[in-house]
Structure 1
Amino acid sequence: MINMEKQPVFNVEPKLVNPNADDSAKRLMTYLCDIYGSRILTGQQIGVESTPELDIIYEVTGKYPAVYGFDFMNYSPSRTERGATCSDTVIAIDWWKSGGIVTFCWHWNAPKDLIDLPPDRTWGSGFYTKATTFDVQKAMDDQESEEFQLLIRDIDAIAEQLKRLQNAGVPVLWRPLHEASGGWFWWGAKGPEPCVQLWKLMYDRMTNVHKLGHLIWVWNGQHADWYPGDEYVDIIGEDIYPPAKNYESQQERFQSALSYTKMNKIIALSENGPIPDPDLMLRDNALWAWNCTWYGTFVYVTEQGRRQYSSEYTEREQLVKFYNHPLSLSKDEVPDLLTYKLRE
């Protein structure tokens, strides 16, 4: 354990934006606030289907990540109607029951108007701007439009999956509409205004219509113009993909994230390629709440039919250092969040 006095920026009150948040979310948020600025939770994203990242990380480090990242992508109605299936909800429930922490993103396949031209504009890449003509501005400008009604349909479909998690007692670090300011996803293709409106629509519908109280809202728009406001955001995430084997702390991006808000918010490294060096994070005071390494080639390669750790992005020795560093928390070090003490 690293003993260090918290600087003021890391003193975050565990008050969630949803006034009706349930105890599971409150306990997780309290834990995150308690450790913020003194520990970082290790994390890993799952692949679209069952992938071997966790087993490979364990083989190399002897530890499992504390946070596991999932994706509602294949629950999108425009994918399920084309035969897509998904088991991430079930895997996430099992992960929580085994003592881990759950985060979900949503590569939201456009509700309609998929271009569907191989090889790189198919329906399977319908979350990308290049693969759909769906107009989020048109949808948000006209609540009577088919486009708007399809947004509601899709939000409701994902709310059903979130209800399954809520019913199982699983709090979720919920990160929708990610990387919007990049413009490569359709929800960010028309600029900040319709995307911010969509965030507020989703928040309102999931919170007030579907009564989802187990969500901790992680905003990941990556630019101040896209920030929906402190009353809609619990945690700010940054997705950062530096060059291979670059282990810098990403201090500038940490500071940028702090500038989006007028109050203290937890800042997380919600996606990463190479993992920042914990000693550099300490040196630069860029103490991310958790990291979530992306899947696939960021972790492993397949050679002669066998999957094994790849040092292309984060070298083996660096991964071992990260998972065994006093700053880092792995799954076995996460306390029982079913009984974690709430603050008075």
Structure 2
Amino acid sequence: MKEQMKDRRYKVKPYLINPIADEIARRLMAYLCSTYGKRMLTGQQIGVLSTPEMDVIYRETGKYPAVGGFDFMNDSPSRTERGTKGTDTRLALQWWRDGGIVTFCWHWNAPKDLLDQPPDNGWHRGFYTTATAFDIARAMDHPSSEEYALLLRDIDVISGLLASLREAGVPVLWRPLHEASGGWFWWGAKGPEPYIKLWKLMYDRMTNVHGLHNLIWVWNGQHKDWYPGDAYVDIIGEDIYPPERQYGSNADRFRQALEYTDADKIIALTENGTLPDPDRMIEDGARWAWNCTWYGEFVHRPDEAGRAILSERYTEREMILKLYRHPFAVTRADLPDLVSFPLPGAAN
């Protein structure tokens, strides 16, 4: 019976919470559901100041990951007004054109009240609770306040970037407001209630005001009390950073994610440091839909000439090769043409 329950939870119906989702988003969801429990898509987050991760992986394995991870961090208005320039929208578009799947997070610099106390709490760390006095609870309780208006301003700015991807036909695995239950980001600093209000506000504004029907909503709150409800979540994500060179399946966190809702939702390893061992994932019944290794030292280090080479601090070369060559893993070259992937109920 227990094994039957496990099997059932992998049989997720390929439907999205947005009833008028774009065709390409529905095709991507259909593909994810078709592979879920059978294979895991490999994934990699790119860096902020430099982006050698994909090239390092390709040099070592001869393959690119299936999922590319991007971030709207430097597009936050409280950062751009201080001189940052976001580049990830352009890079994500190219990744899609090269045959990969796009996922975005947003290290959302607080809209105001940055403490700007370097080095640890400078303005550039304004997504951290310790670096801002911005009060999400006050903002959500006072829709006529300046704080609330600034939240809308920021959401509108990012919506414009997502709209450019929509216009280019790019579906996005959209993972905003991540790791909220940890409290280390300002959107999680005041508990579940204001966070859930902000999640629903973002969903409503992006979907119904900006018409972002190319989004697949990936919730990553990491605690049942923070779950905004089945009508607001397509996919559940967990971020996990095991000790160095510990290649477990993270089955305990997979089971935890199963308990957030009684509905059948895809579960993904939306951030990881050390790679999970594919054989252990299969053995333990923790078959994540995709993984997304974090950037920088989790993947590369500089050599004596300053060039990016593989860092084996967290994951040894043998394990990277094992994963990228394993029949359970999907790389970019393994992906089908998602533009023509069959929709539910369509004739093959």
The alignment's TM-score, normalised by the length of structure 1, stands at 0.98
1:35-68 CA distance string (max 9 Å, x none): 0000000000011134111111011111000000
1:227-280 CA distance string (max 9 Å, x none): 000000000000000100010000010011011011110000000000100000
- Cα deviation for residue 7 of structure 1 reads 1.5
Matching residue of 2:325: 324
Say what the alpha-carbon RMSD is for the aligned residues.
Answer: 0.7
Written as runs of structure 1 = structure 2, the 5 A alignment for 1:178-257 is 178-257=178-257
Instruction: Identify which range, 125-134 or 297-306, moves more after superposition.
Output: 297-306
Residues matched between the structures, number: 339
3-state DSSP class of the match of 2:173? strand
State whether residues 44 and 69 of structure 1, in contact with CA within 8 Å, keep that contact through their aligned partners in structure 2.
Answer: yes
Provide the rounded CA distance (Å) in 1 between the counterparts of 2:243 and 2:32. 29
- Cα deviation for residue 303 of structure 1 reads 2.2
Provide the rounded CA distance (Å) in 1 between the counterparts of 2:49 and 2:25. 27
Matching residue of 1:307: 308
3-state DSSP class of the match of 1:151? helix
Provide the rounded CA distance (Å) in 2 between the counterparts of 1:314 and 1:158. 33
3-state DSSP class of the match of 1:243? coil
Find runs of 4+ consecutive structure 1 residues off by over 2 angstroms. Answer: none
Is 1:109 the equivalent of 2:109?
A: yes
Provide the rounded CA distance (Å) in 1 between the counterparts of 2:59 and 2:85. 29
Where structure 1 has 5 or more consecutive residues not aligned to the other structure, the ranges are 1-5
3-state DSSP class of the match of 2:68? strand
3-state DSSP class of the match of 1:212? coil
Provide the rounded CA distance (Å) in 1 between the counterparts of 2:303 and 2:340. 44
Provide the rounded CA distance (Å) in 1 between the counterparts of 2:184 and 2:274. 22
3-state DSSP class of the match of 1:238? strand
- Cα deviation for residue 284 of structure 1 reads 0.3
Provide the rounded CA distance (Å) in 1 between the counterparts of 2:262 and 2:230. 8
1:176-225 CA distance string (max 9 Å, x none): 00000000000000001000000000000000111110000000000000
Where structure 2 has 5 or more consecutive residues not aligned to the other structure, the ranges are 1-5
Task: Work out the percentage of aligned pairs sharing the same amino acid.
Answer: 65
Matching residue of 2:20: 20
Matching residue of 1:338: 339
- Cα deviation for residue 306 of structure 1 reads 2.3
Written as runs of structure 1 = structure 2, the 5 A alignment for 1:39-118 is 39-118=39-118
3-state DSSP class of the match of 2:63? coil
Provide the rounded CA distance (Å) in 1 between the counterparts of 2:237 and 2:127. 20
Provide the rounded CA distance (Å) in 1 between the counterparts of 2:303 and 2:213. 45
Provide the rounded CA distance (Å) in 1 between the counterparts of 2:84 and 2:226. 31
